Structure 1
Amino acid sequence: MADSRSKGFRERKSSKSNTKKITHTLSLRNNSLVNKIPLELGRLWRLQELSFLNNSISGEIPANISACSNLISFELPGNTLTGKILVELGSLSKLNALYIGRNNITGDLGLARFLPEDIYNSSAIQPISIGFRGSIGYVAPEYGIGNEVLTFGDVYSYGILLLEMFTRKRPTDSMFNDGLSLHSFVKMALPELVATVADPTLLQQREMGQASSSTNNTRNQSSHTSHKIHECLISIFNIGIACSQEAPRNRPTISHVVTQLHAIKNNLIGKDGDHGSRRARIAV
């Protein structure tokens, strides 16, 4: 693919008559390419424009694409790529257009780390353009209108992930339509109906314990544990709801979220981890 005579590779001269600027481009768009993006692309350090638009490429974006240090534009829409948005792409200081829409890329956490501050604050280049259609449900709504990538967006994604973990439902499930989202689904159930939205496996051990109870003390202990689990689930869901609010200014900071999660953990298993091994199976 490094051979300039291969299909799609061209050196494009600048339209300005007084310059001989050359753009190194590899365009493989609108074909029927399959399999993974070849690792050998990382050797094309002069490459400036790379497009795999509308193919059937699978797998993950290779990390060594960050070795293409002169890359300006990277197009990937219309494939079946998976995995996360690579933090390594943040090292591509010349990149000003990244399109990843219409894929199955869902790793949105850490997007604020993805772009170095000097990239999106620079007036010399255009903002990074990222297509998030493949990650819909996880990406903060403000990104859809072109807002810059900030930690508030990370908090939103974390909140959705938290709700997904404890409901066992993805934000892209078919049940979420006509205005119903994972966020609203959980919010409407709290606090009284928390058991109806929680992952049933989280409550399985509680029910098994109650069924096998043979003494009053055991029953009382099981009831106390059940109440604690119920309280913890409500608290965790409230954090997920707070993090995934539509307005960025209404979301908590991630440090506040961590403090709350530690408090929930201590309430469930105690600061010293008493009975931790037994209860750890509940908080999967």
Structure 2
Amino acid sequence: MTYVALSVCGTAQNDNKLHYTGSDGKRIYLPLGKISFADSVVKFNMGYPRPISKYRDSSQSLHKPNYRGYDNADFITLGCEGSIVLKFTNNGFMNLKGHDLTIFEVGPSRERTRVEVSTDGEHWIYAGLAKGGTSKLEFDDEKIDPNLLFYYVKLQDLKDECSGKSAGADIDAVAAINSVIRLTVNADVLFDVAEYRLKPSSKHTLDSLAQSIQVVQNATILIEGHTDSDGDEAYNLRLSDNRCQSVRRKLKQLLSKFGTYKFETKAYGETRPRVENSSDENKQINRRVEVMVFPPKDYYDSLPDN
């Protein structure tokens, strides 16, 4: 991977905005800040015994933790052996260095949940046990593929406490520590055929890309270039690299006043097609630029080596 470190003017995001505290007083650092929380409920299967009605609002598991006390209905109780599926809509998460996911479990008892993750909401991978309270999971412990980008989390209560008015684990929030944003643009929107200079008509798309990135003020941005299989393999590799550099220069310009960003570029040419290059439609899908927004490199440098 070619690493291009570029100094960008701007003010880094205030670290105080990146720390969130669980009900047990544990502080969690989220490198990409407020976008890092699950923000959509896909499915809630209430367990039995059921919690009382005021603890059944599944939306209380979304966004940042806001637990004020057991008498307030600001968390969701799963019920004994109940489960909930949450989705991250603004970002995904990956198995990267350090801890990857945090479960904010609250209430008077520490109740465990089984945690699974998914790229598509259909196929699930076991990610570990959240042990109650503010629990962090490290996907390396379960040997999870570091190339997968997940968008879904499933939590299932493990029947630690099946009595009282809030039987089952009490979930306040779920956050991705190794949060990642993936933005994909069809290359035909940005470039003419066999060209690497940006088309004038690409301005709106690039402005939208920059706006999506601006929600994070300190990040590493990886720009990947892909082509179809038409033409020579070496030529396609050079073309995808030149296109990466064009997008990098433009994004650097657009983001110069909004934060601190470092850029990486990686040209793949025709080597990573999404679909077979068997039709014009498929070839268009494979011609693309992918922009990945990761936590900043200095965050990973600060973590101890295993």
Normalising by the smaller structure, the TM-score range is under 0.3
Which one has a larger percent helix, Structure 1 or Structure 2?
1
User: Relative contact order (alpha carbons < 8 A, sep ≥ 6): 1 or 2 greater?
Assistant: 2
Which one has a larger percent strand, Structure 1 or Structure 2?
2
| TM value normalised by structure 2 | 0.24
